[in-house]
């Protein structure tokens, strides 16, 4: 019996085998938002009425890549076959969404298939644009350069760090929206810790160049990070944007955003590049995007502003909050409730407060757990001051969060810490 159920669930999740042309709920994207919503919708409408459109064979838990780049975790531990995370019985359409036709409730795939839906959940994530920096991505063929944002380049970060001799260690942030806005500086703190541990710190000049006018968007945590920066002798240059990498010469070129036309060349012994990012190409210029190309949703209900049977979750949306897996978790609970109400012909009543979280890894055993809302106000789960470096929070990030991700979020059971926050604070705000 077990054997037959495995076979039949495999048939459901292979491309096109047993795949229909119409689904009650169609989910675009098999990342964290898409898989959690597929699991939740399966419980509402039945597995046979849900499909996920996703071309990738492997699903990655990306938050752990910060620790992979610092040599603390293996890249292999971050990935699992997509087939293993698609909820059993849900159809996996193994292709890419190529075109939207929301007026006719239809999506066209790149395999030439038309799929119609009653409800559409867009969870397409965002796209990395290394090519917008002159000299990349081809520069990654050289040593001493890495990026924790791609499975292809994350181990290159660790190679650059462990082979560091002396000189500048450069860390960059792009002039675009990004996912996990803390990650570009987490690798700087970890590199500092590694160089101290290996006795090379005195030979290193650590530099973080960001186009932003601030170190971090939320003042409470920014203040704590500035303290760490001073204590550890890290150099922060605000309003500095990376425009070119000359990997053959180990040089990086930055523009000064406060003095247009002014550029500066930095030599490096190691560089970690955070690429410019943008909305999925398929969204840009479609009937579903806003003027910047992101999915245009109501920031409270996550329902599309024009098409009432279209919803969005995660990095592809124009929600004015930080793009993280923690935000996806909180959004999934809101979306679950609101779609359930719409299925019963009721009005959506659950409101997303913008909750997002960023465990700011500050060393190999400490984390500052930033949690905040749309207004950039701290929204902390634990009854302690989370702007203080904590060992417990490090273990939560490195060991507990991956378990919660694979077994909680992707199964549609984790909707963020909202309910627990109330208990932890005994009802206090």
**Mean pLDDT throughout 234-251?**
98
| 312: Cα within 13 Å, side-chain hemisphere | 28
At residue 300, does pLDDT exceed 60?
A: yes
- Where does residue 46 fall: left (phi above 0), alpha (psi -120 to 50 degrees), or beta otherwise? left
d(CA 334, CA 330): 7
316 is catalytic: no
Q: Do 266 and 276 form a contact (C-beta atoms < 8 A)?
A: no
**Mean pLDDT throughout 306-314?**
98
Query: What's the alpha-carbon Rg for the chain, to the nearest Å?
Result: 22
**Mean pLDDT throughout 226-248?**
98
Banded model confidence at residue 424, pLDDT cuts 50, 70, 90: confident
Which runs of E-coded beta strand occur in 314-393? 356-361, 367-372
For 166-181, write each residue's pLDDT tens digit.
999 999 999 999 999 9
Closest CA to 272 of 65, 60, 127: 65
**For all residues of the chain together, what is the average pLDDT?**
95
Banded model confidence at residue 425, pLDDT cuts 50, 70, 90: confident
**Mean pLDDT throughout 201-216?**
98
Q: DSSP readout, 197-232?
A: HTT-GGGEEEEEEESSSSSSSSHHHHHHHHHHHHHT
d(CA 209, CA 252): 11
Please give the share of the chain, as a percent, with pLDDT higher than 90.
Answer: 93
Cα–Cα distances in angstroms (integers) from residue 265 to residues 117, 148, 260, 282, 314, in the given order: 52, 23, 15, 36, 36
pLDDT of amino acid 254: 98
**138-157 burial, b if ≥16 CB within 10 A, otherwise e?**
ebbebebbbbbbbeebbbbb
Burial status of residue 163 (CB atoms within 10 A of its CB: 0-12, 13-18, 19 or more): exposed
pLDDT of amino acid 146: 98
Q: Do 297 and 316 form a contact (C-beta atoms < 8 A)?
A: no
Other C-beta atoms within 10 Å of 223: how many? 12
At residue 267, does pLDDT exceed 70?
A: yes
For 68-84, write each residue's pLDDT tens digit.
999 999 999 999 999 99
**Mean pLDDT throughout 271-277?**
98
Which runs of E-coded beta strand occur in 239-395? 240-246, 251-256, 263-267, 270-272, 277-278, 310-312, 356-361, 367-372
Burial status of residue 301 (CB atoms within 10 A of its CB: 0-12, 13-18, 19 or more): buried
For 4-40, write each residue's pLDDT tens digit.
333 344 445 444 445 689 999 999 999 999 999 999 9
pLDDT of amino acid 427: 54
Q: Choose between 426 and 236: higher pLDDT.
A: 236
At residue 283, does pLDDT exceed 80?
A: yes
- Name every residue whose Cβ is closer than 8 Å to that of residue 12 and which is 6 or more positions away in sequence: 18, 47, 88, 89, 90, 91, 92
| 343: Cα within 13 Å, side-chain hemisphere | 14
Which runs of E-coded beta strand occur in 262-308? 263-267, 270-272, 277-278
Overall size of the chain counted in residues: 429
Q: Which of 97, 107, 124, 180 is catalytic?
A: 180
Q: What secondary structure letter does DSSP report for 276? A: P
d(CA 59, CA 31): 7
pLDDT of amino acid 221: 98
pLDDT of amino acid 36: 98
Helices (H) and strands (E) in the chain, counts: 11, 21
Q: Which of 39, 206, 319, 358 is catalytic?
A: 358
pLDDT of amino acid 377: 97
Chain centroid to Cα 19, Å, comes to 29
**Mean pLDDT throughout 137-152?**
98
pLDDT of amino acid 20: 83
**Mean pLDDT throughout 94-98?**
98
d(CA 172, CA 163): 19
Please give the share of the chain, as a percent, with pLDDT higher than 70.
Answer: 95
For 384-405, write each residue's pLDDT tens digit.
999 999 999 999 999 999 999 9
Other C-beta atoms within 10 Å of 235: how many? 12
Token pair 């650590």 is found at 206
At residue 3, does pLDDT exceed 90?
A: no
**Mean pLDDT throughout 401-420?**
97
pLDDT of amino acid 98: 98
The phi, psi pair for 355, rounded to 5°, reads -50, 130
């Amino acid at each position: 019996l077990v054997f037959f159920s495995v076979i039949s669930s495999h048939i459901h999740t292979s491309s096109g085998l047993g795949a229909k042309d119409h689904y009650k709920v169609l989910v675009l994207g098999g990342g964290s938002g898409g898989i959690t919503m597929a699991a939740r919708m399966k419980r509402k409408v039945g597995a046979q009425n849900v499909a996920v459109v996703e071309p990738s064979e492997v699903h990655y838990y990306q938050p752990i890549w910060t620790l992979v780049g610092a040599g603390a975790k293996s890249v292999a531990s971050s990935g699992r076959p997509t087939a293993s995370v698609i909820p059993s019985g849900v159809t996996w359409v193994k292709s890419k969404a190529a075109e939207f036709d929301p007026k006719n409730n239809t999506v066209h795939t790149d395999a030439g298939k038309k799929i119609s839906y009653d409800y559409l959940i867009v969870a397409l994530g965002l796209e990395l644009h290394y090519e917008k920096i002159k000299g990349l991505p081809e520069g990654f063929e050289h040593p001493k350069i890495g990026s924790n944002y791609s499975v292809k380049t994350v181990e290159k970060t660790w190679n650059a760090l462990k082979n560091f001799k002396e000189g500048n260690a450069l860390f960059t942030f792009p002039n675009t929206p990004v996912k996990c806005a803390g990650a570009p500086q987490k690798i700087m703190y970890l590199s500092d810790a590694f160089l101290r541990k290996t006795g090379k710190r005195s030979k290193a000049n650590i530099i973080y160049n960001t186009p932003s006018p601030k170190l971090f968007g939320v003042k409470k945590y920014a203040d704590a990070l500035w303290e760490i920066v001073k204590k550890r002798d890290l150099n922060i240059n605000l309003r500095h944007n990376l425009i070119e990498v000359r990997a053959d010469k180990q040089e990086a070129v930055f523009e000064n955003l406060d003095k247009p036309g002014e550029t500066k060349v930095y030599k490096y012994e190691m560089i970690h590049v955070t690429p410019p990012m943008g909305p999925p190409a398929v969204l840009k210029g479609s009937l579903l995007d806003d003027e910047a190309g992101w999915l245009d949703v109501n920031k409270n209900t996550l329902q599309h502003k024009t098409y009432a049977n279209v919803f969005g979750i995660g990095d592809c949306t124009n929600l004015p909050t930080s793009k993280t897996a923690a935000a996806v978790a909180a959004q999934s609970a809101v979306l679950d409730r609101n779609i359930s109400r719409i299925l019963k012909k009721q009005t959506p009543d659950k409101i997303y407060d913008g909750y997002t979280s960023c465990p700011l890894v500050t060393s190999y055993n400490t984390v500052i757990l930033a949690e905040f809302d749309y207004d950039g106000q701290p929204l902390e789960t634990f009854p302690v001051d989370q702007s203080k470096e904590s060992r417990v929070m490090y273990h939560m990030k490195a060991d507990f969060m991956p378990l919660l991700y694979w077994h909680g979020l992707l199964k549609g059971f984790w909707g963020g810490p909202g309910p627990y926050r109330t208990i932890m604070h005994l009802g206090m705000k």
